[in-house]
Amino acid sequence: MLTLPAELTFTQARACAQQLVQALRQSGLPGQEGAPHVVLDASALQVFDSSALAVLLECRRAALAQGRALTVQAMPEGLHNLAELYGVQELLTRR
């Protein structure tokens, strides 16, 4: 399971996306137990802006490139509302 930080704004977005995508790629390397479904835990996320959506979408792209699905667990309602505003909520599966 991948985990989002407590704060994810423009300032942290690039580094966070790079770390998450690298972890996702490493978990799917041949010879490793790469699950066909990736869960991204957003329960710690408290401070965010639309950059958090960009990070989630980048993780989704990376997962799909590996033939894996991505689900966001415990997505804050405010982030889901932003996804609806931008019309990308259907791209982000949540539970």
Q: pLDDT tens digits, the chain, 95 residues: what are they?
A: 999 999 999 999 999 999 999 999 888 755 445 678 899 999 999 999 999 999 999 999 999 999 999 999 999 999 999 999 999 999 999 88
The CATH number for 50's domain is: 3.30.750.24
Name residue 47's beta-bridge partners: 7
Q: What is the pTM of this model?
A: 0.91
pLDDT at 13: 98
Best CA proximity match to 20, nearest among 48, 35, 39, 33: 39
Range of the domain at 87: 2-94
Domain count, the chain: 1
- Strand-pair category, 2-3 with 37-41: parallel
